[in-house]
Amino acid sequence: MTTPATRVAIVTGGSGGIGRAVAERLGAEHFDVVVHYSGNADKARQTAGAVSAAGGRALTVKADVADESEVAALFDAAVAEFGGVDVVVHTAGIMPLGPIAEMDLADFDQVQRTNVRGTFVVDQAAARTIRDGGSIVNFSTSVTRLQQPGYGAYAASKGAVEALTLILARELRGRDVTVNAVAPGPTATPLFLDGKPQEVVDHLASLAPLERLGTPDDIAQSVLSLVDARWINGQVVYVNGGIA
């Protein structure tokens, strides 16, 4: 197998939070990075600038991850600009919260469309496009173990992500492509912090033996480890400071 001089990564949800941290870390490793975004072009451009400053090249592409035509265009853009795809890190997702008995079914449907269908569509494109020797990293959540009230729809979507991850790893037999999922615990991102009172944040920070929230950089470090590891495959890696 011939290894390209520069590896190419697509990072979905790269406009902020964990996605931006992952994109920057890959840029520091001299990857060419396609920064995907769904709505905030300015933040995506900021991430691209950070990737360039870190040492990589960057391209921003807008797409709805649950739309197969738009995701196909995202992958086509990576191939056209950088020559191929070696790594796909799928961080894009949404997290509407609410008790199961009270959640509007439209909200439930939206989280399943984005988190489950979106993962399926991105993984399908990745499986068709990624070069041999590559890596796919999906995103689950430690809530699948913590069973926190209010997270039913979100946890259900991420349980599906885990199943897709483990099966895809086995379907790509013979191509030297690893497929894993990262399952972060409470992490200080806008997605996690939005709408939570400070006392709730403080309580969640106290749960882990390390007595703090995770940071986007903590999660990005775990992603890079999985990208570089060639003997970790078909696994869900819990990155939560020991909370679960």
CB 123 within 8 A of CB 102: no
Q: Which of 37, 151, 154, 238 is catalytic?
A: 154
Tokens of 230: 């060639």
CB 160 within 8 A of CB 123: no
| Helix (H), strand (E) at residue 10 | strand 8-12
Rounded Cα distance between 244 and 242, Å, is 5
Instruction: Render 146-185 in DSSP notation, one character per residue.
Output: H--TT-HHHHHHHHHHHHHHHHHHHHTTTTT-EEEEEEE-
Tokens of 107: 């909200």
The answer to whether residue 154 is catalytic is: yes
Rounded Cα distance between 13 and 7, Å, is 19
Rounded Cα distance between 182 and 43, Å, is 23
Supply φ then ψ for residue 131, to 5 degrees.
Answer: -75, 155
Rounded Cα distance between 197 and 204, Å, is 11
Rounded Cα distance between 11 and 60, Å, is 10
Rounded Cα distance between 17 and 94, Å, is 12
Catalytic residue numbers, as ranges: 154
